[in-house]
Amino acid sequence: MMLPFLTVLIAIWSLWKGRRRAVIGWWLATLLIYIAWCAYHMTEVLGLSF
């Protein structure tokens, strides 16, 4: 779970340094990692009963 926090921090650092393409790249990497974690944490069966 630390990986998206790391990549998003690198994106902010790149932004601070004025590297726009790097920011977009690291943001995109964060989004992909985010989706992977969503698939891991949001696909278990819900404990619902009606």
Partner 1 sequence: MAYTVRRLDTLILLAVTVALWFAFAVEIFLQQFPCPLCLLQRVAFTMVGIGLLLNLRFGVRPMHYGVVILSSLAGLAVAGRQVLLHILPGNPGFGSPVLGLHLYTWAAIAFFALLAYSGIILMLAFARQNGVPCRFGFAEKFVAAAFFTIALANLISTVFECGLGPCTSHSFGYHWFRP
CB of 34 vs partner 1, minimal distance in Å: 6
The correct pick among 22, 25, 39, 41 for binding partner 1 (CB under 8 A) is 41
Query: Would you state the structure tokens that stand for residue 48, as one six-digit string?
Result: 């619902």
Asked if 16 and 4 count as a contact pair (C-beta separation under 8 A), the reply is no
Residue among 15, 40, 41, 42 at smallest CA distance from 27: 15
Q: Does 48 bind partner 1 (CB under 8 A)?
A: yes
The 1-40 site mask, x for binding partner 1 (CB under 8 A), equals x--xx--x--xx--x--x-x--xx--x--xx--xx-xx--
